[in-house]
Amino acid sequence: MSQYPLIIDVQTLNDHLIDDNLLIIDLCKRELYKANHIPGAVHFDYGHIIKVEKPVMGLVPDDAHLQTVFSALGISSTTHVVAYDDEGGGKACRLLWTLELAGHHKVSLLNGGIFAWANNGLPLEQHQNHPIPASFELYKDTSVIATLDYLQSRLNEPEIQILDARSVAEYRGSKNFAQKGGHIPGAIHYEWTDAMDRNNNLCLLPMEQLQATLAEKGFDRDKTIVTYCHSHHRSSFSYYLLKAAGFRQVKGYAGSWSEWGNHPQTPVEMAAD
């Protein structure tokens, strides 16, 4: 198998565990990784791909840092990365999105993460695996990222839509983690966990159902969709949801609400209960 789907199911991954070009990255809590993980998976600390400049929490580290981190992880131009976590995919997707930003597009999300794997009776191991360093060549792909300036200059453009992946309370402004509450003007709310099947290990709901929901909410495949949450953690999952659903022009706003909601010159909207 030379290519893998963007969203890979546990059975398919199990069938290809020994593929030479496959690197499985575990972003679960370290204690959980030590107790049980997918055979061959290496553990990765989420903090290595996040830059904090308070109050902004989810910025992207500089290129040199990312190149060092991804080289140490053992990612080369031929590596296909499959990432998973223990929360439905937020951390895993932020890693994959960061890889895409760094020019590496051979990535997949394991649908349902470690719980889908374990609950399907697939093999687990306790041996801690250590990555074999490689030479990662970074080629910045800015097509996957939206910046503060990008959004400010395009708020009124009809070709741009914005997906707010936060909770209803955050979107409405009744719950707030920044100086300002509310949401980016015009943003459409679609909480990231609403795309998950809570009765099936937080796997994605059936794609036909997700596509219908996205259409009902007004998302247009011919437009550019920008996803955000508070630190582009939850909204990284939404980014891959959109891509898996057939949207081709998708960007993630790394600064998200921790930047927008703390900036003195950004407009906000509030939603009624």
Domains and CATH numbers, the chain: 7-119 (3.40.250.10), 142-260 (3.40.250.10)
3-class SS string, 76-98 = CCCCEEEEECCCCCHHHHHHHHH
Mean pLDDT of 68-93: 97
Instruction: HSE, CB side, 13 Å, CA atoms: give it for residue 236.
Output: 28
Is residue 80 predicted with pLDDT exceeding 60? yes
Our answer to whether residue 203 is catalytic in this structure is no
Is residue 171 predicted with pLDDT exceeding 90? yes
Is residue 167 predicted with pLDDT exceeding 60? yes
* CA torsion angle 22 28 32 36 (round to 10): -20
For residue 272, the model assigns a pLDDT of 59
Is residue 147 predicted with pLDDT exceeding 70? yes
Mean pLDDT of 254-259: 97
For residue 271, the model assigns a pLDDT of 76
Return the closest-CA partner of residue 192 out of 79, 92, 39, 88: 88
Is residue 142 predicted with pLDDT exceeding 60? yes
pLDDT band at 3; cut points 50, 70, 90: confident
Mean pLDDT of 159-187: 94
For residue 6, the model assigns a pLDDT of 97
CA distance 198 to 238: 16
Structure tokens at 72: 């140490």
CB of 111 within 8 A of CB of 204?
yes
pLDDT band at 132; cut points 50, 70, 90: very high
* Set 28, 93, 203, 229: catalytic member: 229
For residue 1, the model assigns a pLDDT of 37
The better pLDDT of the pair 103, 273 is held by: 103
Is residue 220 predicted with pLDDT exceeding 60? yes
CB of 50 within 8 A of CB of 59?
yes
